């Protein structure tokens, strides 16, 4: 039987990561309490690092379903805990690097890191397919 706690931490950290970028977007945009009535409109009209942090937040949310599904399916199909953790931690590290690249406006490196991060859940799902 697998220890589920590591899997829960992977999912928790992946789910919290977009909020880090959201916080950075608000912090760097001059976001104030009055803007909280329409925060999405405000952030959609932001520029510079705030706009890039907001885009990193949105992309982080978009990647969550695939990551969570892959991790849970791998756990369900009894993929080795060390394999799940390796791909899960790699995904998280790559997503943090992705966010840093986005904030720094390193578009080419950001795209490369995004592709590498996408390979992590895809690899887990390929293992699931092979086990089924």
The secondary structure of 67-99, three-state, reads HHHHHHHHHHCCCCHHHHHHHHHHHHHHHHHHH
Q: What is the pLDDT of residue 96?
A: 98
Q: Which residue has the tokens 């907001």?
A: 54
| Contact (Cβ atoms closer than 8 angstroms) between residue 22 and residue 65 | no
| Contact (Cβ atoms closer than 8 angstroms) between residue 77 and residue 131 | yes
Q: Does domain 5-131 have CATH number 1.10.10.10?
A: no
Average confidence (pLDDT) per 10 residues, the chain, 132 residues: 79 97 88 70 85 95 97 94 96 98 98 98 96 87
Q: Give dist(CA 13, CA 27) in Å, integer.
A: 21
Q: What is the pLDDT of residue 43?
A: 79
Residue 17: both structure tokens together: 């990561």
Buried b (16+ CB within 10 A) or exposed e, 32-63: eeeeeeeeeebbeebeebbbbbbbbbbbbeeb
Q: What is the pLDDT of residue 34?
A: 62
CA distances to 20, 38, 51, 76 from 33, rounded to whole Å, are: 18, 10, 18, 44
């Amino acid at each position: 039987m697998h220890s589920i706690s590591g899997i829960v931490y992977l999912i928790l950290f992946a789910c919290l990561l977009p909020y880090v970028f959201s916080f950075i977007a608000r912090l760097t945009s001059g976001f104030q309490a009055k803007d909280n009535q329409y925060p999405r409109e405000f952030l959609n009209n932001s520029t510079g690092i705030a706009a890039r942090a907001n885009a990193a937040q949105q992309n982080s949310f978009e990647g969550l379903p695939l990551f969570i599904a892959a991790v849970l399916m791998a756990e369900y199909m009894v993929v080795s805990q060390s394999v799940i953790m390796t791909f899960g931690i790699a995904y998280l590290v790559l997503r943090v690097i992705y966010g840093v690249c986005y904030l720094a406006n390193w578009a080419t490196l950001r795209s490369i890191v995004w592709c590498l991060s996408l390979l992590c859940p895809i690899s887990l799902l390929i293992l699931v397919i092979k086990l089924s």
